[in-house]
Structure 1
């Protein structure tokens, strides 16, 4: 991919480099897009697993680590991909799905203690994942003067003010 770019890269290029037959490739992936999406998901899961404890949940400390990890990951990858390349939509979908699933898990556990919630957990997870990811993308493209720590603080502040969840989880 680094040599040719994703668009120009062929299945033959992939199988030659991996030293596997095309049939083996197709037994696991329908096309190169599926391989790339799975690779992005695996890398992001591994990164989160390294940074966030398995028993993590919605609390200020874990949320801070999550936001910072997303910011750093997005900045590291967005600089490598051409905006017109087909990689960006795959990257976006994979990261948003993984982030949304993690947040939904955290929020479902938190909701067990909250009978007064009127917004469905899946909607809250969706909106929160887009908020974090969208801010990370914009920051990585345009805010060179804002440090990762400052941007993390800003996102956490918006999440805390907008949802009240960060305050509620401290009770």
Structure 2
């Protein structure tokens, strides 16, 4: 939904307002994530929900914004699948770096 919504805004929005739209969308995604996280158990008590929500929302929105700007041949559904795969495997990536 976020990528699709942003793509619609990018195609219709005045360039001077793009930053405002991006920020509003990111903040809304963060609020939704935080609400969801408050209903779930956190496996690492050292990481606050208030840290997790904006980090994930920026990852989602930043990738969606980049896709809207240059698309690089990925369809909307392919891009969404890539984002989901990265988010689901993030713990594996971080553990492999340590």
The alignment's TM-score, normalised by the length of structure 1, stands at: 0.50
Task: Report the counterpart of residue 99 of structure 1 in structure 2.
Answer: 29
Deviation (angstroms), 1:81: 2.5
Between the aligned partners of 2:29 and 2:23, the Cα distance in structure 1 is 10
Task: Report the counterpart of residue 49 of structure 2 in structure 1.
Answer: 121
How many residues in Structure 1 have an aligned counterpart in Structure 2? 92
Deviations 1:87-143 (CA, angstroms, capped at 9, x unpaired)? 1122122111111000001111112xx353321101100010001000011001101
What are the ranges of 5 or more consecutive residues in structure 2 without an aligned counterpart?
93-98
Aligned pairs (5 A) from 1:69-80: 69-80=1-12
Deviation (angstroms), 1:148: 1.1
Task: Report the counterpart of residue 95 of structure 2 in structure 1.
Answer: none
Q: Tell me if the contact between 2:6 and 2:22 (Cα under 8 Å) persists in the aligned partners.
A: no
Deviations 1:58-99 (CA, angstroms, capped at 9, x unpaired)? xxxxxxxxxxx001001111122343x1x1122122111111
Relative to structure 1, is the Cα distance of residues 77 and 98 closer, same or farther in structure 2, using a 3 angstrom cutoff?
same
Relative to structure 1, is the Cα distance of residues 132 and 97 closer, same or farther in structure 2, using a 3 angstrom cutoff?
same
Tell me: higher relative CO, structure 1 or 2? Use CA pairs within 8 A at least 6 residues apart.
Answer: 2
Query: More helix by proportion, 1 or 2?
Result: 2
Flag the structure with larger Rg: 1
Q: CA RMSD in A?
A: 1.6
The alignment's TM-score, normalised by the length of structure 2, stands at: 0.84
Aligned pairs (5 A) from 1:17-166: 69-83=1-15, 85=16, 87-111=17-41, 114=42, 116-143=44-71, 145-163=73-91
